[in-house]
Amino acid sequence: MKHSALLVGGILAISCGGTNYYVIKNPATGQTYYTTEYKTLDNGAIQLTDAKTQSQVTLPTSSIQKVEKSEYEAKLYAPAPAPAPATGGGPPAEPAATPAATPTTQTGTPVTK
């Protein structure tokens, strides 16, 4: 009886071994993907399902970082960064229109028609 209890405990420990968390970057585009599993294909490419988009992705080159669950979740659920403000590239902004001056006489009295 003791022997079977140890066997069951060992199987539970192995099956509950834990999940691995990965942050995978595509160096060509800078895009970041989040996954708990990936596989390496025969040609060396990496195939994964991105946790943010649920899209299956194949990357010919990649940078794989194993991270702790807390870091993975913080990055996965972080809001997207705001887009950078546009600089240059377009025509210069037009200056604000100034109101037309009211014609006056040499003494400063407004001219009436």
Q: So what's the pLDDT on residue 106?
A: 63
Give the H or E element holding residue 76.
helix 69-76
In a domain, 32, yes or no: yes
In a domain, 5, yes or no: no
- Residues 9-58 have pLDDT tens digits of 444 444 456 999 999 999 999 999 999 999 999 999 999 999 999 999 99
Query: Helix H segments across the chain?
Result: 2-15, 69-76
pTM for the model stands at 0.58
Per the CB < 8 A criterion, the answer to whether 56 and 47 are in contact is yes
In a domain, 61, yes or no: yes
Task: Give the pair of three-digit tokens for residue 91.
Answer: 């025509």
In a domain, 42, yes or no: yes
- 37 vs 50: CA distance, rounded Å: 10
In a domain, 48, yes or no: yes
In a domain, 85, yes or no: no
> Can you give the residue range of the structural domain that contains 54?
18-76
In a domain, 101, yes or no: no
Distance of CA 5 to the CA centre of its chain: 47
Q: Which residue has the tokens 């400063």?
A: 108
Domain tally, the chain: 1
Sign of the CA dihedral 100, 105, 108, 111?
negative
Q: So what's the pLDDT on residue 58?
A: 97
The CATH number of the domain holding residue 27 is: 2.30.30
In a domain, 103, yes or no: no
